[in-house]
Amino acid sequence: MPGSVNPLSSIASQPEHIVRNLRDYLLRPISVLRLIGRDDVPADLIAGLTVAAVAIPQGIAYASIAELPPHIGLYTAAIGAIVGSLWGSSRFLATGPVNASSLLVLPLLLGVAIPGTPEYLVAAGLIAILAGLMRVVLALLRFGAIVTVASRSVLLGFVAGAALHIGVGQTRHILGLDAPAAPELYENVAAIMSALGDAHNPTLMLGLGALILMAVLRRMGPRVPPGLITITLSALAVYLLGLEDHGVRVVGDIPRTLPPLTWAANDMFPNWRMVQSLVVGAAAVAALGLVEAAAASQTLARRVGERLDFNQEFFGQGLANIAAGLFSGYPCSGSFTRSALAQQSGARTHLTGIVTGATVLAAMLLLAPYAGLIPRSAIAGVLLVIAWGMVDRSAIIRTIRTSPSETAIMTATFVATLLLPLDFAILAGIVFSLAMFVVRSSLPRVYPVVPDATYQHLVHDPTKPSCPQLGLMNIRGPLFFGAVYHIEEELRHNYERHPGQRTLVLRMHGVDQCDMSGVEMLDATVRAYRQMGGDLYLVRLRKPVHDVLVQSGFIGETLARDHVLDQERAIEYLFDNDIDPAICTYECEHRVFAECQTVIKHAYGDHVPSAPLDPHGHRFQVPPEEFSKLMPHSRALLLDVREPSEHRRAHLPGAQSMPLRDLLNMAADLPRDRPILLACRSGRRAARALFVLEDLGYHQIVGLRGGILAWRAAGLPVEMEEEVQPDQIDDS
């Protein structure tokens, strides 16, 4: 069915597309390296070194969040930066350890192993591999657009909850407590509270000093690496003051080697039970990482007009995680902090990320003995400041002020982060976001519109009066099976509010697709309005939707082609063909449309009969050809029941002007022994007069079906004549 094609079905169902995508994505480094010019190298070297100065302390700190050794964070920072740059799409995105994902990994690892054991390290690598494979599969299926469906409010809510988790988790390190790490927030709080009496004062003083120094340095601007300075000075304090001998815990030995294979370094392979235990959590890690990377890369790309390929970025992020998992790392993603620093430092190409990764590896090989003196409490102080800064308070306030639905998603994700296991929390937030997207897609906006003060535009303004005869409804959204019920309900509610609106115009410029359910909905709406004596018209149809309606037979069979109107002339056309002028003159006190401005309004009362349900008017109405044969009758009284101004412009030959209001007042005094012929513009006012005269016992009455419009369309003559007052009617 045209208009209802699933854009993903043709890709997912053709394996050759997947093979072609894999080939193109794997060859990405060739195009990346070709883009690096000689003039780009100095700027990228400076930017890469600057980002590395931040990546080193962050790698150590974020690994600490997941209860992993510092070298695991550094391996991940190096591998992620290099692979992510070579196979990614954004030239600014800095791939490596990130705080939120590190926190999400912690409860997953605690569920299968004990920190410090080989099983713990192998499980960390396995999560990265599983999450990477999931991202690669999404890229091959070209599901890159999925990140635009998952609301950023999910990330806002999760990061706010994650900051609280990090704050609580690092408190035990800054206090020097032996309280074990736990996957649940309340368990960590309980463990810390029960061990508060065992706080180690030198550790606490060093941690608080690092926290204060980190907070002060962060205010000095992005070119000052506060984490690196804070951790370096803390390690220097441990060395000069001999604090390790006084019970201050340090990170310990860091291997001076390139990243080894995970299972070789730990002398074990992951088993199937471990895979089963971690696969759901890995899906949450993959989803969170994609949202993080997409948010960071898209924000930075907009600043410089860079075009992103999210499918390529998915692939690059997937390969970076697989590589990190294979070579003694853990899950990684795009860091907004380091990516923004790369852009601010003048990064030009993907060489920046390659330099960052190489610098981290070089620092490990050269400075590993000194890095072992870094106190854990200093890392905790750095992380507490980072946790506070990772909450985007301005974005949260904007979301609360502008979007109730996204506020609900953000709040639900935040609460889930505090109460549920973190992997379920992030998946719940993403599912909630996707459900909101589906609901919005299934619930198009359907609302009435009226002309603005200039009569140039149609606007939604509930304070303005609406026409009692003509309803204008705007539809914005797809007409597909999930939306038709909502649209039908909104149209029904509108008719219940305005039961006199028997003519309905649907403005369709906001409808970009239509399936068979949408066609059937329109068909049912036409039938409903025609049963009420009205009709349906369409304006501003987009070509794809128009083609669907034509191919389905709706336009041409159910709805005549002349019912698809040009918006500029739609109201004028309907005034000539569907609007009952009697209602405009006697029953409606408003002037909704520009065409209403010339209508002479009169007092409203019960003496004006309601409009007949039969769209053809009264049974005594006849077509113009038959009506013209009655006019030469010598005793026939031909009355024009329009307003005098209308009569003066053009009328039937020999017609006398008797506005409907006057005819109704003196109906009983009209001659009963003469044929009475009635004419108006479209036949509606004449039909009203026929109903009244028939009720009074008149039988020699005939109306002109279709009015003067039909008369002129038949090529019959009209004439101009001065107005005849009711008391001047010739009764002879």
Question: Which are the catalytic amino acids?
Answer: 680
Calculate ∠ Cα 516-519-525, nearest 5°: 145
Contact 498, 535 (CB under 8 A): no
Give the DSSP H/E element, type plus range, for residue 165: helix 152-175
Q: How far apart are CA 167 and CA 149, in angstroms?
A: 30
Q: How far apart are CA 385 and CA 213, in angstroms?
A: 10
Q: How far apart are CA 377 and CA 235, in angstroms?
A: 11
Token code pair at residue 52 = 């590395």
Contact 590, 465 (CB under 8 A): yes
Question: Which segments of 631-706 does DSSP mark as H helices, in order?
Answer: 644-649, 660-665, 684-695
Contact 348, 43 (CB under 8 A): yes
Q: Quick one: 731 exposed, middle or buried, by C-beta within 10 A (0-12, 13-18, 19+)?
A: exposed
Q: Across the chain, which distance is largest between two alpha carbons, in Å?
A: 130
φ, ψ of residue 235 in degrees (nearest 5): -65, -35
Q: How far apart are CA 255 and CA 530, in angstroms?
A: 83
Token code pair at residue 12 = 């997912």
Q: In the 8-state DSSP scheme, what is residue 719?
A: B
Contact 458, 472 (CB under 8 A): yes
Q: How far apart are CA 175 and CA 188, in angstroms?
A: 14
End-to-end CA gap in the chain: 68
* 3-state secondary structure string across 230-287: HHHHHHHHHHHHCHHHHCCCECCCCCCCCCCCHHHHHCCCCCHHHHHHHHHHHHHHHH
